[in-house]
């Protein structure tokens, strides 16, 4: 598999591409959904909610954190994760911009 060409695209487009790639995995999308439904930060309780082993969930959490979708705080051995609302708002805004443009354009196909 070749290296994805990112030169020539804006930084915003490259960042959004990485975020959408991260969300493209069912486990990561399920993690985001689970976190969004909680009233507080989550830690190890997510292991009982998904059909995955703890190391696998940790890897997916790491990928979501790497692109900024979630953030975590560490207190001793405990890590508490929550959705990064600033990044999520940016994702929603960019998708809404595309949706608005599609709704305003003529039906070409």
Give the CATH number for residue 34.
1.10.10.10
Q: Is the pLDDT of residue 15 over 70?
A: yes
pLDDT at 109 over 70: no
Number of domains in the chain: 1
Q: What is the pLDDT of residue 106?
A: 63
| Residue at 26 is within a domain | yes
Q: Is residue 72 part of a domain?
A: yes
Long-range Cβ contacts of 33-40 (<8 Å, 24+ apart): 35/70, 35/81, 35/82, 35/83, 36/83, 40/82
Burial of 39 from C-beta contacts in 10 A (0-12 / 13-18 / 19+): exposed
Q: Is residue 1 part of a domain?
A: no
With cut-offs at 50, 70 and 90, classify the pLDDT of residue 72.
Answer: confident
Question: In the structure, what pLDDT confidence band is assigned to residue 102 with cuts at 50, 70 and 90?
Answer: confident
pLDDT of residue 89: 96
Given a cut of 90, whether residue 60 has pLDDT beyond it is: yes
Q: What are phi and psi of 101, to 5 degrees?
A: -65, -40
Single out the residue of 80, 68, 70 nearest to residue 31, CA to CA: 70
Check pLDDT > 90 for residue 70. yes
User: How many C-beta atoms surround the C-beta of residue 89 within 10 A?
Assistant: 10
């Amino acid at each position: 598999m070749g290296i994805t060409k990112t030169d020539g695209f804006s930084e915003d487009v490259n960042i959004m591409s990485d975020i959408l790639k991260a969300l493209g995995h069912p486990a990561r999308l399920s993690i985001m959904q689970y976190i969004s439904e909680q009233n507080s930060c989550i830690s190890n309780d997510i292991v009982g909610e998904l059909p995955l082993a703890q190391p696998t969930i940790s890897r997916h959490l790491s990928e979501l954190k790497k692109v900024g979708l979630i953030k975590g705080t560490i207190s001793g051995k405990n890590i508490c994760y929550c959705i990064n609302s600033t990044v999520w708002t940016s994702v929603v805004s960019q998708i809404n911009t595309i949706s608005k443009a599609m709704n305003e354009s003529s039906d070409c196909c």
